[in-house]
Amino acid sequence: MDNVKILAIVGMSGSGKSVVVDCLTDKGYPKVYFGGMILKEMEKRGIEITAENEKSFREMIRETEGKDWVVNQVIKEIKDLIAAGQKRIVLDGVYSWTEYKILKKEFPKSLIFAALVADKSIRYDRVAKRPIRAFNATEIRERDRSEIENLEKGGPIAAADYYILNNSTVEDIYTRVDEILKEVEF
């Protein structure tokens, strides 16, 4: 696994994670979506997928199955991609410090973290204007609080290897992503 590189994209809601992940998947890199593990399990259990149900289920699965449940599902998918010959993989949405530590232990030489950050007012405006899963200011403040307190989301952002400031244009983000890709030989 010495020549495998895994780029994990982290950030708070509205920071631009999806823009960066879409940029990377458009370049042909496969992604593993943490939230997808939650959605797959909800579907398997016949739970309606709504923002409220997803939040509750995300917290419940970590309480009942362990804080490592999601990351263990992700690790299986990463290993399947590597076994299929993939050398560059994008992770979308590492949520917790526990997940960060487990991934760093599992893939110590391969894993790189890039955090997207944006001013809170800009994030909130973006989330309010989303066509899917839009939140008002009260809802996004609650989501931020819940993700920081209940899911330990701040740790992976604080410990990132690279930062992408996303207060400007999509072109600026793409430029920064390309700089990071070149630097880490992704």
**Tens digits of per-residue pLDDT, 80-114?**
999 999 999 999 988 889 899 999 999 999 999 99
Q: Is residue 56 part of a domain?
A: yes
Q: Is residue 12 part of a domain?
A: yes
Q: Is 183 a domain residue?
A: no
pLDDT at 167: 97
Look at the chain and report how many structural domains it folds into. Answer: 1
| Residue 114: both structure tokens together | 């890039």
pLDDT band at 51; cut points 50, 70, 90: confident
Q: Give the whole-number percent of the chain exceeding pLDDT 90.
A: 81
In one-letter notation, the amino acid at residue 94 is V
C-alpha pair distances (Å), 113 with each of 13, 47, 54, 64: 17, 32, 25, 28
Q: Residue 167: inside a domain, yes or no?
A: yes
**Rounded to an integer, what distance in angstroms lies between the CA atom of residue 102 and that of residue 74?**
11
pLDDT at 4: 97
Indicate whether 31 belongs to any domain: yes
Residue 58 pLDDT more than 90? no
In a domain, 59, yes or no: yes
CATH number of the domain at 139, please. 3.40.50.300
* Residues counted in the chain: 186
Better-scored residue on pLDDT, 59 or 39: 39
Evaluate whether residue 181 is within a structural domain. no
Condensed to tens digits (0 to 9), the pLDDT of residues 122-177 reads 999 999 998 887 888 899 999 899 889 987 899 999 999 999 999 999 999 999 99
Q: What is the pLDDT of residue 35?
A: 86
DSSP 41-84: HHHHTT----HHHHHHHHHHHHHHH-TTHHHHHHHHHHHHHHHT
Confidence band for 18, pLDDT divided at 50, 70 and 90: very high
> How much is the mean pLDDT over the chain?
93
pLDDT for 15 equals 96
User: What pLDDT score was predicted for residue 152?
Assistant: 86
pLDDT over 90 at 12, yes or no? yes
- Domain range for 94 is 5-176
135 in a domain, yes or no?
yes
Count the neighbouring beta carbons within 10 Å of the beta carbon of residue 76. Answer: 12
